Amino acid sequence: MNSPILPVLEQLNKVVLGKPFQVKLAVVCLLAKGHLLIEDLPGMGKTTLGQAMAKVFGLDFQRIQFTSDILPADIVGANIFDREKSAFEFHPGPVFSQLVLADEINRATPKAQSALLEAMEEQQVTVEGNTYELPNPFFVIATQNPTHQIGTYPLPESQLDRFLFKINLGYPDPELEKVLLKGESGRTKMATLESLLDLETLKKLQQQVSELTVTEHLLQYVMDLIQVTRQSPDFAHGLSPRAGLAIVSAAKAWAFVDGRDYVLPEDIQQVFVASARHRLQSIKTSSASTIELIKELMDDVAVPA
């Protein structure tokens, strides 16, 4: 089948230059109903990617700047007393949007970070005992600065596990960076982007992704990959069952973007690192070594024919 997502990728790649793999992962994450964590230095295009995705997919967009003094109420909203009604009335926060950009999430305290936990997992928030539904779809793109930078707090494992993918954008190629220096940045091209999908179409695509076929052999392949992470002496612990569900969902979405209604081993391999890297704690210190270890483990697992 022809993928309806190809025009979307073409538009996004005009704004986020030279990062087609990362852009595709971001789109796959949305189609799989996941959430995306982007770790990189400031100025790498993280915010631009989030704004471009909202525009192309026709989603409501809110950006939350996380700081050390931000409170949970600044994110989810609060009950405010209405003198005319002599009653408290709930005023929703910026999390009540279809695409939420949680910018520099690790500059907030763990208490503020936790305000997103229920939202990302249950698609709802609870304030003073009352539960409020969030929009559907609900997609969080969180950015974080490298943890060695001053003023950052590490994301707890429970928070990390809510993200389907963790990716890096990285420095652009020199030739593309020269284009940026000439003033042809992604932000200047943002005005030319058009909404290519409406809300109902996106929901239908997400439903189609969930209905894709995964054979028993491929499910066993995912199980073998998970088991090898649990047996590896290089990691503090292995992947959880939730991680396995995330890998299968992401592989389905990758296959769908490639125009197929069935999953191949290559789809699992393409999404495995982004699905696993933030869920595995390496005994070594650098995140680069974690990625290398994951790739080595993948090489040790037999690929089904």
Give tens-digit pLDDT for 5-37: 999 999 999 888 889 999 999 999 999 999 999
Q: Examine the pLDDT at 129 and tell me if it is beyond 90.
A: no
Q: What mean pLDDT, rounded, does the chain reach?
A: 89
% of the chain surpassing 70 pLDDT: 94
Mean pLDDT over residues 268-284, rounded? 92
pLDDT of residue 194: 83
pLDDT category at 95 given cuts 50, 70, 90 is: very high
Q: Examine the pLDDT at 189 and tell me if it is beyond 90.
A: no
Of residues 217, 200, 302, 199, the one with CA closest to residue 264: 217
Longest dimension (CA), the chain: 70
pLDDT of residue 156: 78
61: β partners: 99
pLDDT of residue 227: 96
Mean pLDDT over residues 49-57, rounded? 93
Residue 299 and residue 305: Cα distance in Å, rounded? 15
Q: Examine the pLDDT at 146 and tell me if it is beyond 80.
A: no
Residue 63 and residue 53: Cα distance in Å, rounded? 13
pLDDT category at 285 given cuts 50, 70, 90 is: low
143: β partners: 38
Instruction: Give the contacts of 234 (CB within 8 A, at least 6 positions apart).
Output: 282, 283, 284, 293
Residue 79 and residue 145: Cα distance in Å, rounded? 32
pLDDT of residue 77: 92
Mean pLDDT over residues 205-225, rounded? 96
pTM: 0.91
Mean pLDDT over residues 131-147, rounded? 90
Cα Rg for the chain, rounded, in angstroms? Answer: 20
Q: Examine the pLDDT at 42 and tell me if it is beyond 80.
A: no
Say which residue the tokens 């230095």 belong to.
41
Out of 49-58, 180-189, 199-208, 293-302, least confident range = 180-189
Q: Examine the pLDDT at 1 and tell me if it is beyond 80.
A: no
pLDDT of residue 53: 94
249 burial class (0-12, 13-18, 19+ CB within 10 angstroms)?
buried
Residue 294 and residue 188: Cα distance in Å, rounded? 37
Q: Examine the pLDDT at 298 and tell me if it is beyond 60.
A: yes
pLDDT category at 184 given cuts 50, 70, 90 is: low
